[in-house]
Amino acid sequence: MTNVVKTALRIENIEYPSLVSILLVENEEIQRINREYRNKDCVTDVLSFPMLEMKDGKFAVKPDELDMEDGKLFLGDIVVSVPKAIEQANEYGHENERELAFLTLHGLMHLLGYDHESPPDSEIMEKKQEQILSDIGLTRN
């Protein structure tokens, strides 16, 4: 998962040394977090909690010292349900590693201000995700 984050930050030209928190949890925990923070009482595969305002990989406001933690820019938190990732890997017919990397990347893309609410936005996000996964050798089967 570290490799996918480093590759994505390089491709997205994030010029700051960056920090991302990745939490791997059970279904019950992601459901609790989803309920508490999004008011949705259901299991999901990944949640992301951005710390900075970004849009399509660009900062809305240039980061400053207050955005830094130990000399690194703190982008936010990603929470991944491991059982859901395994379930989806089986469903899609690819390795667990690929699904965990994809979900981590998907969460990171949200931290970077990408979204998939409209078809054009979704297409941009999906293309970037596929490029990054391809760069690290985790293509779809």
How far apart, in whole angstroms, are the C-alpha atoms of residue 81 and residue 71? 29
CA distance readout (Å), 120 to 20, 38, 51, 54 = 27, 24, 25, 18
**65 touches 27 (CB < 8 A):** no
pTM attached to this predicted model: 0.93
Delineate the domains of the chain, giving CATH numbers in brackets: 2-135 (3.40.390.30)
Task: Determine the pLDDT at residue 141.
Answer: 60
pLDDT (tens digit per residue) in 65-83: 778 888 899 999 999 999 9
Q: How many residues does the chain have?
A: 141
Helices (H), 39-118: 82-92, 96-111
**5 touches 60 (CB < 8 A):** no
Q: What is the mean pLDDT of the chain?
A: 93
pLDDT (tens digit per residue) in 93-124: 989 999 999 999 999 999 999 998 889 889 99
